[in-house]
Amino acid sequence: MKIKISTITAFIILITLNMQSQNAEDAYDTPDQVVWHAPSKTWFVSNLGGGISLEKGSNAWISRTDEKGKIIAPFWIGKKEGMYALSGMTITDKFLYVVDRDGVYEINIVNQKIAAFFPISDG
C-alpha cells in the first residue's frame, strides 16, 4: 500500500511541475483519480470537469500522460461519451475500468473505445 501511495504522490508532483511547463489547464480540471498502465508506461488521470458537481452533463474525461507526466492525450476519452462524475478507476493490461454515477465503463485501452457499460441500479 505504501508503494501505491508513494507512486501516486510522485505522479501528482510530476503533474504539478508539468502544469507549469505546458498548457495543462486544458488537460486537467479537478483531477481526481490516477492509475498506472505498466504495458504502455502511461498514466490515466480522471477529471471531474466544471468543478466538483454531480449534475449530469458531459463534463468529465480521462487524460493520458507518459511516465513522466507529459500530456499525451488531454481528452483521451469521456467528454463525447457523456461521462460526468467519475469517482474511481482500476486497470488491467487490456481495460481501464471507470466508475461514474450510473455505472462502470470498461474501456479498451488499445482502441480507446468503451467496450462495455455495467449499470448500477438505484436500489
List pLDDT tens digits, range 21-40.
445 557 788 888 999 999 99
By DSSP bridging, strand 88-91 and strand 95-100 are antiparallel
Q: Could you give the CA distance from residue 2 to residue 114 in angstroms, rounded to a whole number?
A: 32
Q: Give 44-59 pLDDT, tens digit per residue.
A: 999 988 766 666 766 8
Q: Could you give the CA distance from residue 5 to residue 119 in angstroms, rounded to a whole number?
A: 29
Please name the residues in contact with 41: beta carbons below 8 A apart, sequence gap of 6 or more: 66, 67
If residue 11 lies in a helix (H) or strand (E), which one and from where to where? helix 2-21
